[in-house]
Structures are given as C-alpha cells and as structure tokens.
Amino acid sequence: MTQSLKQACGLTAALLASAAFVQAAHAQDFDWNAHKGETITFLANNNPVANAILKYKDDFEKKTGITLKVDSYQEQQMRQRLLTVLNARSDEVDVFMTLPSREGRQFAAAGWYQDLTPYTQKAVSADYDFKGLGKALVDAGTFDGTLTGIPLNIEGPLLYYRTDIFEKCGVAVPKSIADIQSAAEKIKACSDASNVTPFASRGLKPALPYTFSNFLHNEGGEYMKDGKSNLCSDAGKKALKTYADLLKTYGPPGVVNYSFYQLTSLYRAGRAAMSFQSSNEFPSVMEGGERLNDTGIMPLPAGSGGSHPTTIGWAMAVSKFSDHPEAAWYFVQWATSPQMQAKLALEGIAPPRAAAAEDADYKAWLAEQPVRQKWQEALQDLAANGTSEVGYPIIQNPESREYVGQAVDDILLGTATVDQACANADEQLNALIERE
C-alpha cells in the first residue's frame, strides 16, 4: 500500500469514527419530551397498518407529550385530501402515509416531502437502529438523494384460497396462472360452491394495477420498453386478457368497484373461494376467526415469464409544509422504531426490519396458527423475489395507473377488445411519457 493510500485510508477511518461519535452523541442527548406541548396532524389511510399504529396512540402522546390529531379516510378519499393539502402548500397536515412505488417520484419532483435524511443522522434515540430497516425499501423511498419516508411494512398481493372448497370440488392447489383459471371453472360448476365467487381481485380502476402488475410480470411483460408503453406486447395482451376474463367470468357482481375493502369483506364472509389481494389485509381477513382453519395462502403462481411478485411497502412521511417538522419526525421515529414494529408484527403487519421477524414473541405468534406461518412464508418469497414496479416508472405514475385500469375494465365490461384496449392505453400512456 502506498503512503498516500495509507493516508487516505487513515483519513476515511477518522472521518467515519468521527461521524459515528457525533451520531452516538446525538443519540445520547436525545429527549423524547423535547417537543412536549406541540400538536401535529396525521393524515391516515384507514387500512390495517394505520389502524394498528393508532391502537398505541395514547402511548405516543404519553411518551412525548405531543398531541396527535388524526385525520383518517378510506384510501381514495385520503389521496384526494392529501393532494388538495399539498397542492395548496398548506400546513394542515404534518405527517402522512405514502406509497413510494406509487406517488414517490411525483411528490419528490413537486418538492412535497421533507427530506428525512438529516433527522436519521442527528435526531434519533439510541435504540432506533435506522440501518436495521430493509435497505431495499429505504432505497425505494429515496429520490434524487431525498429520503421521502421511513418504511412501515412490507407487502404485496397474495392468493388466499379456501382449502375446504378446493377439497369438496376436487380442485388442486394452482401451480400456474392457467391453473387458477381451471380451478375457477371447476368451482363455478361445483354444486357445493354455487353461492361462492370463484375468483376475486381488484377491479377499481386506480387500485387495479397493484394486483394486475403481478399478472403482467409473471407472464413476462413489462410496462415500458425502449422508452415507450409496452402493454400491446404479446405478454401484455395475454396478461390483460387473463386478468379481465377471470374477473368477468368468475368474479363478483360489480367487481369494477372492488378494492381491498370489498375483497376482504367478501372473503372473510366465506363468499369467495380465491381472493388475490394484499398480504396487508391478513389481520382483517382473519378477524373473527372464521377463516383461520380453512385458508391457504401463497404468492401468485408463475406464468409463462416465471414468478415476479409485486412487493411494496407503506412509508411514513413528513410534509415539506409542516410547521412542526421536528415533532412530526418524533412520531415517524416512534411508529417505525424496532419496539413498535415488533408490536405491529403481532397485529399481522409484516415488519420491514429483519430483527422484528426474528423476535421470539413474533415467532411464537406465528406458531399459534398454521395459516400465519403460510402467510410469513409467502412474505419471505415476496422479499426475496419481488419487484416494486406498479404502473409506469415515471413522475406521473398515479395517472399511468388510471390508463392501465381503464384497459382492463374496458375488456371486462366488453366495451373494447384486448387489441383496442391496449392500443388506446398505449396511445395515452405514450403521450404521458413524452410529457416527462
């Protein structure tokens, strides 16, 4: 090693040691009551993640002395409210839930996120362990160097299926997408399941790409190729037709209005034999205990392009326009801490921290019910093999999802053929891409 290289290595080591010392000093000086008396507003999505966190709202307020005001809506209404507030650069919202895979690039480009990087370096408790969060999810929430949110969970769509109905109807567990179609056909013809929807998944236009994307990728498709929309590829058309035909032939009435809430209610009530929906809905699906002993869970079976499960996660973000960003960060830090995520894991919220998954209490919780172990095994598959591409990897990703959803719904409703639907979508999407 040359003398200059030795000096450089020595300087680097000194800088790292200094940074570690400063960070440790900040952690030692950290005071959970530093913002006592302040009030922050949390715009919450009324989903299992937020509901589980808010069960411990009193604990946060007691720990910090910060008053947490909660403004909660169903997902589509929450998004509308959030856009209104952020477009107005209003201070009405301090903290909000965000899906980096959906709006992250768009919100970051608009300057709507508070960059959380400085907070993770100087305003953390000694036991926060920022590096313990899943690196892939942290990276997925970072745009042009801005850390837009801290991961709350890891999730993706899974196939929930009724083992008792499969047995009664002589249906084997699907090993391919084609097998799902065969299983749905048998269940539809099975007299014992005449009042049961064979297959259910999202049909609501803006929500649909979350589940459709898994079909697209498993069939070997991709949203873009050579800078252009690629829905009219052979794989894209096959995925569009398969997904739309499943919902049209074997889905519930009014499926074009279905998102996670309707899917969960239908399956939990025993009125769906297969439900392809979020892993995040596991606690709600099992609520009441009726589905604990008759449910199997697995990732979507492979298609002609293999297995590429959709894997994303919600994150907690701070508004750039908050008047209380430091107090807001305290809430984010508390909600995403190792202690809270271990608690949330026991509520069925899949932890983005590997350490939480190894927690003894969590392992004991999984062991109480075989279906919980199946859920965890499916999540491990998502973590190992997943892709976060839901809709187009562009700033206008949310708008791109509308066109994808419209293409599927047009086929489902019979207002367009597959070729017409994908051509219409490609035309609109290419115009959207050109505006980037």
Percentage above 70 pLDDT, the chain: 93
**76-99 average pLDDT score:** 96
Query: In this structure, what token pair is assigned to residue 53?
Result: 């966190």
- 212-237 burial, b for 16+ CB within 10 Å, e for fewer? bbbbbbbbbbbbbeeeebbbbbebbb
Distance CA 92, CA 320 (A): 11
What is the domain range of residue 61?
3-154+312-368
Whole-prediction pTM value?
Answer: 0.83
Contact of 192 with 165, CB cutoff 8 Å: yes
Helix axes 397-413, 209-218, angle to 10 degrees: 80
Number of domains composing the chain: 2
CA 406 to mean position of chain CA atoms: 21
234-250 helix and 418-434 helix, angle to the nearest 10 degrees = 120
What is the predicted pLDDT for the residue at 26? 52
DSSP 212-226: HHHHHHHTT--SEET
392 in the same domain as 338: no
Residue 287 domain flag: yes
Is 48 found in the same domain as 147? yes
Nearest C-alpha neighbor of 45 from the set 260, 360, 282, 329 = 260
**Which tens digits make up the pLDDT trace of 320-329?**
999 999 999 9
Q: What is the pLDDT of residue 13?
A: 40
Residue 379: inside a domain, yes or no? no
Query: Which of 239, 261, 263 lies closest to 407, judged by CA?
Result: 239
- Same-domain status, 347 and 417: no
Q: In terms of domains, do 273 and 172 share one?
A: yes
Q: Of 178, 215, 219, which is closest to residue 306 (Cα–Cα)?
A: 219
Q: For the domain that residue 337 is a member of, what is the CATH number?
A: 3.40.190.10
Q: What is the pLDDT of residues 292-320, one digit of tens each?
A: 999 999 999 999 999 999 999 999 999 99
Task: Specify whether 280 is located in the same domain as 175.
Answer: yes
Say if residue 18's pLDDT is above 60.
no
Q: Do residues 278 and 335 share a domain?
A: no
Tokens of 278: 């979020």
Average pLDDT of the residues in 343-350: 91
